[in-house]
Amino acid sequence: MQILTILLLALAAVQTRVTSLRTAIYVLLVQSVLVAGACLVVALETRELHTYIAALLTAVIKAGVIPFALFRLSGRLKREKEQHPILGPNAASLSACVAIFFAYSLIDHALPGVVSRDALAAAITLVFIGLLLMMTRHQAILQTVGLITMENGIYLVGLSVTQGLPLIIEMGIFLDVLVAVLVLVILTYRLKLSFASTDTSVLEELKG
């Protein structure tokens, strides 16, 4: 689990420097595979059937269906790229370092001596960095990647604290995420058709 945690933190730092849409989706894909791996590790430790199913659903939906939908969309947006993020790569990477430091400090003060300290810190870091991406990127696909990153973090928090939620709740969460991403993919495509760009800053022109 510790290796997975280190890889998740490293990928989260990489995400803050990515401006290419397809590269961002590849990073999200690897991140989702690691989250599925963390779920599988918990399943092997607890030997609970519902945790094995949750790991399988994570791999299929987050590392399969969602990246596939995003790749299909990005294939139609060949010239789209994050041109003017609110935070540049260096400032965003510095923010990621601050987020990692804050997450570890928060866990050490709130839950001193907790066994899953590293996993919880990585989960909280993912939540912060996902939120950071949503707030500082203009491209709709990158904002969607930020949303999924934040959801991966929230999922890891639940996994670290509860060792796996009941299956019916897991399935409800996966369904919500899948529907949300598919709706965002459709809206992003409609945005491209209407404004010839998926830069969400163009929506400011609609203000009266």
CA–CA gap between residue 129 and residue 127 (Å, rounded)? 6
Q: Is residue 144 part of a domain?
A: yes
Q: Is residue 108 part of a domain?
A: yes
**Which two tokens mark 168?**
């019916």
Q: What is the pLDDT of residue 207?
A: 67
CA–CA gap between residue 101 and residue 57 (Å, rounded)? 31
Q: Is residue 44 part of a domain?
A: yes
Q: Which pTM was predicted?
A: 0.86
Q: Is residue 26 part of a domain?
A: yes
Q: What is the pLDDT of residue 139?
A: 87
* Residue 30 belongs to domain spanning: 1-200
Q: Is residue 205 part of a domain?
A: no
pLDDT tens profile 36-83: 888 888 888 888 888 888 888 888 988 888 899 888 888 887 777 777
Q: What is the mean pLDDT of residues 106-127?
A: 83
Looking at the 3D structure of the chain, how many domains does it have? 1
The CA distances from residue 70 to 133, 147, 148, 184, in Å, are: 16, 13, 11, 10
pLDDT more than 70, % of the chain:
97
Q: Is residue 206 part of a domain?
A: no
In 47-139, which residue ranges form alpha helices assigned H by DSSP? 49-57, 66-74, 89-110, 117-136
Q: Is residue 62 part of a domain?
A: yes
